[in-house]
Structure 1
Amino acid sequence: MRILSTLLIGFLLAASLSAQTLSIPEIHGDGHVPTVPNREITTQGIVTLVLEDRFWVQAPDIDRRAGLAVLTEGRPSVGRGDRVALRGRIEHYLPDNRPTDLPVTRMVQPNIEVIARDQPVPAAVLIGPDGVQIPASLAPAAFDAPLKPEDNAIDFWTALMGMRVSLQTNRVVGPTSRFQETWVVAGNNHRNLGRFGTVAAQPDDFNPDRILVQPNPLLLPTFPDPATVGDRFAAVTGVVDYRFGNFRVVAEHALRRLPEPQTAISSRLSGDSDHLLVASYNVENLNPVIEDFSAVRTPRDVDDAIGSGRMDELARHIAEILNAPDIIGLQEIQDGNGAEDSDLVSADRTLAALTTAITEAGGPSYAWLDLPPERNADGGQPGGNIRNVFLYNPARVELVTDSARRLGGPAFANSRKSLVAEFVFNGHRLVVINNHFASKGGSDPLFGQRQPPVEGDAEQRQAQARAVLDFAAGLNTDRRDRLVVLGDLNDHWFSEPLSILTGDKTVPLHNPVTDLPSRERFTYIFQGNAQAIDHILVSQALKPATELALIPINSLNPRQAADHDPLVVKLHLPES
């Protein structure tokens, strides 16, 4: 009998708790975790935005913690401006495949009662110079403490989750992605704003005040042309949401792009009788075929670099914009049948197509150096067998016979092997190492619950940097004094791998990127953060003879020939 009484009391208590009525701010509380997770709650709010399988409600006249996402089993039976009473389970949701994301508080499959129609929606919170400012600090000291929205960006956005916000003035700092998403900053100015309109990542500042603008999915047919860095949007009003590791503003309306004039991009550097031009360019999974769908892993592995014009555009970049460098370290050259998973590993067909296109664009007749990888042994797109390759102009430089080799060992397991070759120009013999270090795939999101975020394969990139130095240390003094280390190093100029490469006493290397203003250091834009992850390092002996140019012909634009920008150094090497 005592057991039955206890069960009955527990049942009545649970029933009482399931019927608890709370306001939306009371559901959230003052921290990151809702006050009533996994409990059935009754609440009220005004519907602000309705999508295919969810909607948002907001409590009026409250400036924080007033919004709530509501998931429905099918199309929501509510409209914007409805005042609704909701009874449903509060969930603190975290996807199983994204364990370091921030959990999202939401109500799941509620009973819905429309109390009144056509109610005024709560006013949007203005973000920007004339409204609330996003803090420049990224994360709280602890996630179990009360929110401090004025102190850090994560708490700032968490306090506004599910609420209406507005960006009256803004500027685009990351081009529109294939998901139709665009990164902006509020206002016209920013502490890390560069001359091309980018905001560059700094050692202690990854620009957490960037804002991801997502178009209303129901209005995508009316989305304007993709935005370029430097463009603006007319005033954007929407609801704050969090998905795939990022806070975002989901627009209530169609977005209107306000284009800005674009600066023509070209290199100021060119080679001549006394100057050698050396370039690095990640050409992003380049191959000359349309893959056979039956031979690839996923539909996204099928592409057409020739039919789309991408091959010709890359060739034009090399011939015209880069001024036909004498030596080019290419990364992400695929084999002759691209992502088709076959026994073919030769890239001769790919390189023949590219060098022919360069010649047709007015460039020289390049020769190439390729030491093919083993099948599917070097990472990258399955079946593509990406590798590092040298193009060189035999009319200007001579490849030293038997100088080519690939660096191996544990540091390069399942990763692109660095390619070494020696070239002679004006009697000067240069050792050039072409690298593509391990990617950052699998990194924690900046706006995540693990702080500081952990970067994918950071230790492997450090090991690869040490392996390059170990090889260089075995060269004689003359060859170490004529050393160039280039490529997609997949890390910042202020990262540990770059510190390893530039901090060695036996092989002292200089990174010319660090000679540029810090706001102008970028070869890639990731989620609105401009960052220098491609580099050309030179020996200290070459430093006085070196001039660098970063060429942002891809990263600023939504339509890109490759996702990285090329960079070029001009070396003063008069005939000896």
Structure 2
Amino acid sequence: MAAPSADVVISEVYGGGGNSGATLTSDFVELASTGAVILDGYSVQYLPGTPSASSKWQVTPLSGGITAGGRYLVGEAKGSGGTVELPTPDATGAIGLAASSGTVALVHGTDPLTCLTAADCAADTRIRDLVGYGTATVRETSPAPQASNTTSVARAGSADTDDNSRDFTAGTPTPVNAKGETPGGGTPPVEAKIHDIQGTTRISPLAGRKVTGVTGIVTALRTFGSARGFWLTDPVPDNDPRTSEGLFVFTGSTAPGVVVGDSVTLTGTVREYYPDNPASSVYQSTTELTDPQWTVSSSGNPLPQATIVTPSTVPGEFAPHPGGNIESLTLDPAKYALDFWEAHEGEIVSVSDARVVGPTTAYNELYVTTKPDENPSVRGGAVYTGYDRTETGVVKVESLIPFAQRPFPKADTGDVLTGITSGPVEYSQYGGYTIEAAVLGDLKDNGLAREVTRRQRPDELAVATYNVENLSPKDSQDKFDRLAHGIVENLAAPDVVTLEEIQDNNGASGTGDGVVAADQTLNRFTDAIVTAGGPRYEWREIDPRDLADGGQPGGNIRTAFLFNPRRVSFVDKPGGDAVTAVSVETAHGRPHLSISPGRVDPGDEAWQDSRKPLAGEFVFHGRTVFVIANHFNSKGGDQPTHGRYQPPARSSEVQRQKQAHLVRGFVDQLLAVDPGANVVVAGDLNDYQFSPALAELTAGHHLTDLIATLPPAERYSYVYEGNSQVLDHILVSPALRRVDYDVVHVNAEFAEQASDHDPQIVRLVPHGRG
């Protein structure tokens, strides 16, 4: 143990055999070697993770030998659980290894060790290798990760650095004996090239199999994070455009012990990695090699040529639409964009002078388009125009360059990554196919400016809507100030503002603590507006019941009204609370609200775990205006556009359509009394202008969705995964024919945001007698 082992090492340790939840029935220790070694007279020994003065090492003698590049399996204690036997062990003992923490030593000798500390064991020259895992006191430098009933610790690569934390990762147990047999009578490793592993569908034909003889040139490294490893490409491809020649080799939390340009030969297990439960996942998988062992035959080799992606490279159709899971379909990379990227999974691709269509996020990622002429927005983005018109040119970019070496660029929409951006292709649950950039272009700032709308004229009522993204007293004063400046400067101090995502006075607590009031949140916000030079707004809202309206747990988000009392009056009518429904009353042939503010049908099942609409009655220049503030249920639970189910299911639409039906029904009641009533429906409806929910709201032509009146290149208020799209809306009744509408782009396209939504504003002259 005084120096790293040069030949035989411990390659895997598992102590959960036969325990609850385990698949394997027995514990085991696996050895590996770079050369042939006779093991007669050797032993495997075990010590508890936290030994006492009376603790003793337990011994399993070994016999026979291990071949160069081979495995040697030591079977240990068998439990009452599990269903799968080990392959026939090459040596058998009865040691019951602890599942989560312990120490295993490979010893040249069969007498029990006596050392009980890391230092004493390091001085014992009989120890050829030692692994302490979990919280083990005796270990090399630092312990390997904690294991469990369902996970082992396995050596990542062939290197022995005498640091267990670097050399080992936790993962699925993969015992292999000297014959190459795997659990359950599995077959020996199969010789395979990368294109054999990748296959012609999304799922490897060798998934779950041990493979050997995998060759390639190392093209990129991921040296930080929890999913470290390296990519390699076979420089001798086949002639099938459906089979990728690239592959990710997963080394876990251990930095890969190779460098770019190394020619390597690997053995490992093929895995389809899903970010969640593979049986129920809606995402695609990443084909990768786990539990790898490799040898480096040469270094400094030229890298295989990258695939250069131009505006015409990626097909114009997004995905096949079989009405279900696309994983078993043969790839057609010349026809479908998703198939194109999958056929290049793990390979190096390159883009030049790529325009940013989704700004840098808090997770150090941005989105570019490879098709600059595909549905461009007026400000450099890519507009999402329909369910059947998903952007095919958008791809995410992350960086493999350590941030200490080069910080990730802070890009706004419309900026450009000049020069070459290149790296391997990887699928991510967040954003789909991603270029993991080993070469990152330089950022050209194209100077995108935050918009400023005009001020309303004296005879115009200005109504705005703004999702302020979970605003609560827990937020920094900077967020309050930036939102306030947006109200005063960019929106030119509207007369009425519907706010979405106002949280209670202690914000998201994660529990039901009974706090539902939001007066501190709203007072702090209105104070910030005054400090920014704006009017002293008044506010109205209705506190929800605790944990009844969804959003961040404990935050009790709700909609609220701000209004400038010097310009517009609010008609206060008592009786509004979390459960009382507002109704339409008639006085002198004109509609009025029974309570103001009041909630629209709060008891209907359509609003379960969702915000209830807030209706308010305003008077401007003697004319009544009804404003309904909304925040429909989110898209949580919908399948991703880039997932394995095509077309994706949009299950959340059902609830939004019901919500839209109730809001439209309430508007219909107002208009039934007076077809010339002034009605504004505003808020974050969490849906597109072409969605069933908006079709429901506008049915009967009683409401006009103003976003649909803009040119297509201007129809967006939100940017998600590189797509400029519509979530926020202002709709008006037929009486409001002469309106001036504006989406004011101040947030969604920028890396620095006060909120993730852009506000909207409509300036209108109310109908009726003054």
Q: TM-score, normalised by structure 2?
A: 0.68
| Corresponding residue for residue 485 of structure 2 | 316
Residue in structure 1 matching 2:520, options 341, 345, 349: 349
Instruction: Work out whether residues 202 and 331 of structure 2, in 8 Å CA contact, stay in contact via their aligned partners in 1.
Output: yes
Decide which moves more: 386-395 or 244-253. Answer: 244-253
Looking at structure 1, the residues matched to 338 and 452 of structure 2 have their Cα atoms a distance apart, in angstroms, of 39
**SS of alignment partner, residue 18 of structure 1:** coil
| Corresponding residue for residue 298 of structure 1 | none
Instruction: Work out whether residues 359 and 750 of structure 2, in 8 Å CA contact, stay in contact via their aligned partners in 1.
Output: yes
Q: Would you say 1:392 and 2:571 are equivalent positions? A: no
Q: Would you say 1:558 and 2:751 are equivalent positions? A: yes
Decide which moves more: 489-498 or 229-238. Answer: 229-238
**SS of alignment partner, residue 402 of structure 2:** helix
**SS of alignment partner, residue 641 of structure 2:** coil
Looking at structure 1, the residues matched to 707 and 728 of structure 2 have their Cα atoms a distance apart, in angstroms, of 9
Q: CA deviation at 1:61?
A: 4.9
Residues 492-522 of structure 1, C-alpha deviation per residue, up to 9 Å, x if partnerless? 01111000001136xx110111111112101
Q: Would you say 1:30 and 2:30 are equivalent positions? A: no
Looking at structure 1, the residues matched to 469 and 395 of structure 2 have their Cα atoms a distance apart, in angstroms, of 27
TM alignment of 1:93-172, pairs within 5 A: 93-97=273-277, 99-129=281-311, 133-142=313-322, 143=326, 144-172=328-356
Residue in structure 2 matching 1:418, options 603, 608, 613: 613
Matched to 1:384, the amino acid is G
| Corresponding residue for residue 662 of structure 2 | 467
Instruction: Work out whether residues 464 and 759 of structure 2, in 8 Å CA contact, stay in contact via their aligned partners in 1.
Output: yes
Q: Would you say 1:540 and 2:725 are equivalent positions? A: no
Residues 145-182 of structure 1, C-alpha deviation per residue, up to 9 Å, x if partnerless? 32111111110001000001111121000110111000
Looking at structure 2, the residues matched to 370 and 29 of structure 1 have their Cα atoms a distance apart, in angstroms, of 58
Residue in structure 1 matching 2:262, options 82, 92, 104: 82
Q: CA deviation at 1:356?
A: 1.3
Residue in structure 1 matching 2:687, options 468, 486, 491: 491
Residue in structure 2 matching 1:183, options 325, 345, 367: 367
Residue in structure 2 matching 1:328, options 485, 491, 497: 497
Cα distance change, pair 160–12 in 1 and its aligned pair in 2 (3 A): closer
Q: CA deviation at 1:47?
A: 0.7
**SS of alignment partner, residue 504 of structure 1:** helix
Residues 304-336 of structure 1, C-alpha deviation per residue, up to 9 Å, x if partnerless? 331xx1111111111111111111100111112
Q: CA deviation at 1:348?
A: 1.1
**SS of alignment partner, residue 628 of structure 2:** strand
Identity percentage over the alignment? Answer: 37
Residues 92-139 of structure 1, C-alpha deviation per residue, up to 9 Å, x if partnerless? 22233470111221111122011111111111110113xx61122221
Decide which moves more: 25-34 or 194-203. Answer: 25-34
Q: CA deviation at 1:221?
A: 4.8
Looking at structure 1, the residues matched to 610 and 763 of structure 2 have their Cα atoms a distance apart, in angstroms, of 29
Cα distance change, pair 344–16 in 1 and its aligned pair in 2 (3 A): closer
Looking at structure 1, the residues matched to 405 and 440 of structure 2 have their Cα atoms a distance apart, in angstroms, of 9
Residues 520-571 of structure 1, C-alpha deviation per residue, up to 9 Å, x if partnerless? 10110001100111000001221x2212100010011111011100000010
Residue in structure 1 matching 2:190, options 6, 13, 20: 20
Instruction: Work out whether residues 215 and 223 of structure 1, in 8 Å CA contact, stay in contact via their aligned partners in 2.
Output: no
**SS of alignment partner, residue 358 of structure 1:** helix
Residues 454-481 of structure 1, C-alpha deviation per residue, up to 9 Å, x if partnerless? 2352111111101112222322432763
Q: CA deviation at 1:16?
A: 9.8
**SS of alignment partner, residue 565 of structure 1:** coil
| Corresponding residue for residue 429 of structure 1 | 624
Q: Would you say 1:199 and 2:395 are equivalent positions? A: no
Instruction: Work out whether residues 472 and 480 of structure 1, in 8 Å CA contact, stay in contact via their aligned partners in 2.
Output: no
| Corresponding residue for residue 65 of structure 1 | 244
Residues 178-213 of structure 1, C-alpha deviation per residue, up to 9 Å, x if partnerless? 1100000125x2221011101110112121320100
**Displaced runs of 4 or more, over 4 A:** 11-17
Q: CA deviation at 1:277?
A: 0.4
Looking at structure 1, the residues matched to 486 and 180 of structure 2 have their Cα atoms a distance apart, in angstroms, of 73
Matched to 1:200, the amino acid is V
Looking at structure 1, the residues matched to 422 and 274 of structure 2 have their Cα atoms a distance apart, in angstroms, of 26
Residue in structure 2 matching 1:339, options 493, 505, 508: 508
Looking at structure 2, the residues matched to 264 and 565 of structure 1 have their Cα atoms a distance apart, in angstroms, of 10
Looking at structure 2, the residues matched to 179 and 532 of structure 1 have their Cα atoms a distance apart, in angstroms, of 23
Looking at structure 2, the residues matched to 479 and 436 of structure 1 have their Cα atoms a distance apart, in angstroms, of 26
Residues 380-438 of structure 1, C-alpha deviation per residue, up to 9 Å, x if partnerless? 11121111000111111111231321121211111111100111112211111100000
Cα distance change, pair 415–454 in 1 and its aligned pair in 2 (3 A): same
Cα distance change, pair 88–278 in 1 and its aligned pair in 2 (3 A): same
Residues 357-380 of structure 1, C-alpha deviation per residue, up to 9 Å, x if partnerless? 112222111111111111121111
Q: Would you say 1:369 and 2:540 are equivalent positions? A: yes
Instruction: Work out whether residues 189 and 209 of structure 2, in 8 Å CA contact, stay in contact via their aligned partners in 1.
Output: no
Residues 223-279 of structure 1, C-alpha deviation per residue, up to 9 Å, x if partnerless? 2441111111132011101122511000113553121122341113x3233211000
Count how many residue pairs are aligned between Structure 1 and Structure 2.
544
Decide which moves more: 313-322 or 135-144. Answer: 135-144
Cα distance change, pair 337–145 in 1 and its aligned pair in 2 (3 A): closer
Residue in structure 2 matching 1:243, options 428, 437, 443: 428
**SS of alignment partner, residue 513 of structure 1:** helix
| Corresponding residue for residue 447 of structure 1 | 642
Decide which moves more: 376-385 or 30-39. Answer: 30-39
Cα distance change, pair 23–547 in 1 and its aligned pair in 2 (3 A): same
Q: Would you say 1:549 and 2:742 are equivalent positions? A: yes
Instruction: Work out whether residues 219 and 254 of structure 1, in 8 Å CA contact, stay in contact via their aligned partners in 2.
Output: no
Q: CA deviation at 1:339?
A: 2.1
**SS of alignment partner, residue 700 of structure 2:** coil
Q: TM-score, normalised by structure 1?
A: 0.90
Decide which moves more: 220-229 or 275-284. Answer: 220-229
Residue in structure 1 matching 2:760, options 550, 558, 567: 567
| Corresponding residue for residue 673 of structure 2 | 477
Looking at structure 2, the residues matched to 93 and 12 of structure 1 have their Cα atoms a distance apart, in angstroms, of 24
Instruction: Work out whether residues 473 and 480 of structure 1, in 8 Å CA contact, stay in contact via their aligned partners in 2.
Output: no
Looking at structure 2, the residues matched to 487 and 353 of structure 1 have their Cα atoms a distance apart, in angstroms, of 22
Q: CA deviation at 1:13?
A: 9.2
Decide which moves more: 48-57 or 15-24. Answer: 15-24
Cα distance change, pair 177–49 in 1 and its aligned pair in 2 (3 A): same
**SS of alignment partner, residue 645 of structure 2:** coil
Q: How well do the aligned residues superpose, as a CA RMSD in angstroms?
A: 2.1
| Corresponding residue for residue 277 of structure 1 | 462
Structure 2: stretches of 5+ with no match in the other structure: 1-87, 89-178, 574-595
Q: Would you say 1:521 and 2:715 are equivalent positions? A: yes
Decide which moves more: 16-25 or 164-173. Answer: 16-25
Matched to 1:101, the amino acid is Y
Instruction: Work out whether residues 359 and 411 of structure 2, in 8 Å CA contact, stay in contact via their aligned partners in 1.
Output: yes
Q: CA deviation at 1:48?
A: 0.7
Residues 281-305 of structure 1, C-alpha deviation per residue, up to 9 Å, x if partnerless? 001111223xxxxxxxxxxxxxx33
Looking at structure 2, the residues matched to 384 and 220 of structure 1 have their Cα atoms a distance apart, in angstroms, of 36
Looking at structure 1, the residues matched to 635 and 761 of structure 2 have their Cα atoms a distance apart, in angstroms, of 24
Q: Would you say 1:266 and 2:266 are equivalent positions? A: no
Looking at structure 1, the residues matched to 281 and 354 of structure 2 have their Cα atoms a distance apart, in angstroms, of 32
| Corresponding residue for residue 393 of structure 2 | 209
Looking at structure 1, the residues matched to 657 and 186 of structure 2 have their Cα atoms a distance apart, in angstroms, of 57
Matched to 2:696, the amino acid is I
Point out which structure has higher relative CO (alpha carbons under 8 A, 6+ apart).
1
Cα distance change, pair 468–264 in 1 and its aligned pair in 2 (3 A): closer
Decide which moves more: 17-26 or 344-353. Answer: 17-26
**SS of alignment partner, residue 546 of structure 2:** coil
Q: Would you say 1:502 and 2:684 are equivalent positions? A: no
